[in-house]
Structure 1
Amino acid sequence: MKRLFSRFLPASMRNTGTTIPVIRLQGPIMAGGNQFRPSLSLASTAGLIEKAFAFKEAPAVAISLNSPGGSPVQSRLIFKRIRDLAEEKNKRVLVFVEDVAASGGYMIALAGDEIIADESSIVGSIGVVSAGFGFPELLKKIGVERRVHTAGQNKAILDPFQPEKPEDVERLKELQLEIHDTFIDMVKERRGAKLAQNPDLFTGMFWTAKKGLDIGLIDGLGDMRSFIRRRYGDKARLQLISPSRGLFGRKLGVFGSEAPELGSGIAHGIVDAAEERAMWARFGL
């Protein structure tokens, strides 16, 4: 109906430019999340991604990305959903990095046929990290005895309330190396001959986008609006894809299902705030 109505408008009032749907992906990557602790996962982004690729006449989908990383599983799932739809719908994917696309954030960026970033954006960190805390001495000081009973000698591996064991650490490193190899293979497959010979490329090092361009991690420097107008003309317009709304008008799509109860959300947000803050702070943000 809207298209039919536009045919009767004067030529000067018709929107004859190309419309490019835009998805905003921002935050750490992990399963779960709520309105107080927004995060990226396949569950929280699938709806937006599907809506963006449903624009039949759009030649491309633009993704505004800002993430310090997180779950390698969720990162790869989001990457794969974007690539699957890009091939199915025959559309280009244009990724625009904001502050940072590092670690799992960069893994998602690899879904782009082109990756564009601001000169001061942070990109890279192609590696795997596990972090936590150990509390065995704390329990002794406060008079608490830790009791662990298992069926299977490795069920209590890396228990934070027990002294760290060398064999447990070795097992963790084996897992990290396997995940790291998968990440490296993805980078090589998607970036190919664009990658420069740099000994630090797969060490977990990260760079500004200006250096990232030199070593082949991205394709150009700039911002979304300027890039789209250069590529598709001055009349091209960006259309932000918004989350779906629930029965009572509450947003559903960005961070999962309807917002949880206020008290529960605040409690979870306080518990996890330090870890999330550390993820951003690692990149000076």
Structure 2
Amino acid sequence: MADPYTPDSQQPAEPQPRPNAAGREPNWERAALERIALAAIHEQRAARRWKIFFRFAFLAMWLLIFFGIFSVSHETPVATGRHTALISLEGEIAADGNANAKDIDRSLRRAFADDDTAGVVLYINSPGGSPVQAGIINAEIRRLRKKYPAKPLYVVVGDMCASGGYYVAAAADKIYVDRASIVGSIGVLMDGFGFTGLMDKLGIQRRLHTAGANKGFYDPFSPDTPAMDAHAQDMLDQIHQQFIDAVKQGRGARLHETPDMFSGLFWTGEKSVALGLADGFGDTGYVAREVIKAPDIVDYTEKEGISDRIARKFGAAVGAGAVHALVMGGWKLH
């Protein structure tokens, strides 16, 4: 007879869970509820993390705006006694760019108004740009030279002083260049594109409705006409003559005029001196030291603050979007 306590003894088997009629394990409802609860917890944690992130981002944005509003954007140069005032005009001359008439003119006024300023150097490294902005700066230079006759203004050219850049430079007492600088390009252009041929090939029809016979003037998707070309050329010629008059007024008898001087060509700094477009060779340090006789240089260039940059970019984006929706291209002294 077998021992009832040995492994071979017969023991009643424990009941095993059996699937129900639907094939699910017992207590499946509880397991499903637990999974749902865990998923909800994870979702709540993720939502809290994103909420914290956005709060910090919002705070950072407001701190940036606060800093921009209350930051000093127009620093006054530190007085150093008798000195040469420096203003830099670099890049394209445009109302929405760093080289704009408002900032350059304000820098010029501050430089001239300083009692310790012995002379002003306007450093130009620009391919040109807006004839309006260049003309405003040219006029302000002439006004300040008349108001402060004892304080000369000299232009020092970097790599390039072309077109609108030279429009500005022509108002100076003298212009100094490097022998390899690019100088000149006294001309005006109006650029854009026409897509009518491509549209015909693609079978695209332009639907333009205007109130006013010339409201769609030079629409890039419509063909131009001889009348449009004549009107545009007339405006170009007018602006070109304004440019020529400013150069002749500023340079006077120093110009050795040639047939192609006002044709839009440009020359090296060495050739520009020979043509009377410039007066000599030298950099900023040379002019301050040897010409103005005030080697200490103080930079009066307008420093743009964050708030100014945000406001200008926003305004420029709104304005440019409206303008370019009507006209692609524009007038440039390039």
The secondary structure found in structure 2 opposite 1:174 is: helix
Q: 2:110 aligns with which of 51, 55, 61?
A: 51
Contact 2:103 2:302 in 1 (8 A): no
Give, as a single letter, the amino acid of the residue that structure 1 aligns with 2:230. Answer: E
Contact 2:104 2:302 in 1 (8 A): no
Structure 1 segment 134-145 matched on structure 2, within 5 A = 134-140=194-200, 144-145=204-205
Q: Deviations over 1:13-48 (max 9, x none)?
A: xx76x3011000011122223xxxx4x221332322
Separation (CA, whole Å) in 2 of partners of 1:239 and 1:205: 35
Give, as a single letter, the amino acid of the residue that structure 1 aligns with 2:188. Answer: V
Change (3 A) 1:131 1:186: same
Give, as a single letter, the amino acid of the residue that structure 2 aligns with 1:220. Answer: G
| Residue in structure 1 matched with residue 295 of structure 2 by the alignment | 236
Does the alignment pair 1:104 with 2:164?
A: yes
TM-score, reference length from structure 1? 0.76
Q: Deviations over 1:102-144 (max 9, x none)?
A: 1111000012101001110011111111111112234445554
Give, as a single letter, the amino acid of the residue that structure 1 aligns with 2:252. Answer: G
Separation (CA, whole Å) in 1 of partners of 2:129 and 2:275: 24
Does the alignment pair 1:28 with 2:87?
A: no
Give, as a single letter, the amino acid of the residue that structure 2 aligns with 1:198. Answer: T
Offset of 1:49 from its aligned partner? 2.1
Structure 1 segment 74-89 matched on structure 2, within 5 A = 74-89=133-148
Structure 1 segment 92-171 matched on structure 2, within 5 A = 92-140=152-200, 144-171=204-231
Change (3 A) 1:228 1:244: closer
Does the alignment pair 1:202 with 2:262?
A: yes
- Cα RMSD for the two superposed structures: 2.9
TM-score, reference length from structure 2? 0.66
Q: 2:83 aligns with which of 1, 9, 19?
A: 19
Q: Which has the larger radius of gyration?
A: 2
Change (3 A) 1:239 1:211: same
Offset of 1:59 from its aligned partner? 2.5
Q: Which moved more, 1:98-107 or 1:51-60?
A: 51-60
Q: Deviations over 1:73-102 (max 9, x none)?
A: 111011111221222233211100101111
Number of matched pairs = 244
Contact 1:244 1:251 in 2 (8 A): no
Contact 2:87 2:104 in 1 (8 A): no
| Residue in structure 2 matched with residue 9 of structure 1 by the alignment | none
Give, as a single letter, the amino acid of the residue that structure 2 aligns with 1:120. Answer: A
Change (3 A) 1:24 1:195: same
Contact 1:243 1:251 in 2 (8 A): no
Gaps spanning 5+ residues in structure 2: where? Answer: 1-79
Gaps spanning 5+ residues in structure 1: where? Answer: 1-14
Does the alignment pair 1:188 with 2:248?
A: yes
Separation (CA, whole Å) in 2 of partners of 1:187 and 1:145: 46
More helix by share: 2
Change (3 A) 1:96 1:251: farther
Identity of aligned residues (%): 38
Give, as a single letter, the amino acid of the residue that structure 2 aligns with 1:74. Answer: Q
| Residue in structure 1 matched with residue 283 of structure 2 by the alignment | 223
Give, as a single letter, the amino acid of the residue that structure 1 aligns with 2:145. Answer: A
Separation (CA, whole Å) in 1 of partners of 2:85 and 2:311: 24
Offset of 1:159 from its aligned partner? 1.0
Offset of 1:183 from its aligned partner? 1.1
